[in-house]
Structure 1
Amino acid sequence: MATEHGGGRQQTERALSELRDLVLKGAIEPGERLSEVALSARLSVSRTPLRSALQKLELEGLVTLIPSGGYQVRRFSREDVFDAIELRGVLEGTAARLAAERGYSADAMMALQTIVADLDVTLALAPGEIDLERYAALNDGFHQGLANLSGSRVIADELARACRLPFASPNAFVGAEPGAMAFRQSLIIGQAQHKAILQAIEAREGARAEAVAREHARLARQNLHFVLEEQPDLKDRVLALAMLAS
């Protein structure tokens, strides 16, 4: 039996990539119910990795759960995507400012610093050798840690809700090639902003921490424009695109 650390994980990532591509290119229309049986045959994957891929697409905001069971493709506009990214930036900026102004747990800050150090190691690899899955896990850990750093349950809960909007998740991405110069540069800028956010919080500079965190979320918007330029056929579709670097 495949495990999450072997063939099963690879099948999940392949299914996720192919499903995302089908949705964004219009092969599966907004509002259409997703049949696990049909998709399993279409993608040549078993039901277990397919379900894992669908769960990840739900987190990215591309599909939604149907009350009666299963998933359907979500309807949203490009403006919805921009608004979702902006909202995440506002909330993360608020989380960073509150942590700087109210104080934070030393252990929580140390955990974030460790994540940033691990991201440095990951990004030190050659562009084509970057482990995107590890990067995504570390990046997710950073953003979750930042959301909780101030101890505000309200902010943390609202951030979790915002990240379920179309492509507002910090790890939402599409069409990213690890070796592409623009993608590589986006990762480097994002990592520099991770460090700047923590430095501002440690220095008790609330306004600066908030500003950098909001700018960090806007990387997703910049990447959206880049992807649309690279894939002009997507310009007239109702879609949402963002990169994991934000």
Structure 2
Amino acid sequence: MEETALSESESTKSQTLTAFLGLRGLIVDGTLAPGSRVSEPLIVERFGVSRTPARAALAQLAEEGLLAKRERSGYEVKSYTEQDVFQAIEIRGMLEGMAARLAAEANVSASHLQAMESVVTELDDVVGRLTTDSEQTEYVHLNNEFHRLLLEASESEMLAMSLERIKALPFGSPNAFVESLSLNHAAVKKVLIMAQEQHRAIVECIRKGEATRAERLAHEHSFCAARYLQLLRAKDEPIPWIAEKAKRANRK
């Protein structure tokens, strides 16, 4: 009996994770637009899970801020304004600035610094030849790796938990807007080159123990994401996580 109960519990956890990741993906990639109603039956049918895991996935995504409770019943995809997005970017920048400061104040190992420098070197090569989708994918992977190593260098569990909350939002990751743009565009490449110089400078500050400058650079680095958003607006590209009504209201 005990083994059966444990098996059922594991199955429920697995189904919850399947529903959670699947639904989160639909929201992040814009398949489910802001304001779209999301119900348990939809999740059950789409991901082949039972109602209990579907209900748990909805609650988790509401806690992350991707879903909002409807007045009567159920959930809908939460709408954000551009101001919300810019503020989330700045909060991430403040947290990553703190990570850089803590890393510069700590005795980061030579091997960890070497790993960060290796990523910067690889990014140099990718930025220099960005012309294809495969290279764009490579850039996104390496950029994620740089930010992971930066956080790891801070050795702060509290900071990691705080950043995880921000990056759970669809526009909260360092690559949120990079993946929506053609990286071969001249204006985008200027931002990428500037971001890459900031990567290099952050590592150098950590190596030299220049905590204040490292913090300032990492905070400033987050504004590259804001610049990507501005480029999307200039091209009048749709931004999946911002409701059109909220976007227009914010521009007035």
Compute the TM-score of the two structures, normalised by the length of structure 2.
0.67
- Identity rate of aligned residues, in percent? 32
Correspondence for 2:233 among 212, 216, 228: 228
| Inter-CA distance 89–232: structure 2 relative to 1 (3 Å threshold) | same
- What is the alpha-carbon distance in structure 2 between the residues aligned to residue 135 and residue 126 of structure 1? 8
Matched ranges for 1:200-219 at <5 A? 200-219=205-224
Q: Which residue of 2 aligns with 1:4?
A: none
Is 1:152 paired with 2:156? yes
Conserved in 2, the CA contact under 8 Å of 1:84 and 1:166?
no
Matched ranges for 1:1-246 at <5 A? 20=29, 22=31, 28-33=33-38, 35=42, 63=66, 73-128=77-132, 131-173=135-177, 175-231=180-236, 236-238=244-246
The list of structure 1 runs, each at least 4 consecutive aligned residues, that deviate by more than 6 angstroms after superposition, is 16-19, 36-40, 232-235
- What is the alpha-carbon distance in structure 2 between the residues aligned to residue 105 and residue 150 of structure 1? 11
Question: What is the Cα deviation at residue 114 of structure 1?
Answer: 1.2
Conserved in 2, the CA contact under 8 Å of 1:95 and 1:146?
yes
Q: How many residues align?
A: 197
Q: Structure 2: where are the runs of 5+ without partners?
A: 1-24, 48-60, 70-74, 248-252
RMSD: 3.2
- What is the alpha-carbon distance in structure 2 between the residues aligned to residue 221 and residue 169 of structure 1? 12
Compute the TM-score of the two structures, normalised by the length of structure 1.
0.68
- What is the alpha-carbon distance in structure 1 between the residues aligned to residue 223 and residue 187 of structure 2? 15
What's the secondary structure of 2:29's corresponding residue?
A: helix
Partner AA of 1:212 in structure 2: L
Greater helix content = 2
Question: What is the Cα deviation at residue 171 of structure 1?
Answer: 1.3
Partner AA of 2:225 in structure 1: A
Conserved in 2, the CA contact under 8 Å of 1:101 and 1:206?
yes
Question: What is the Cα deviation at residue 133 of structure 1?
Answer: 1.4
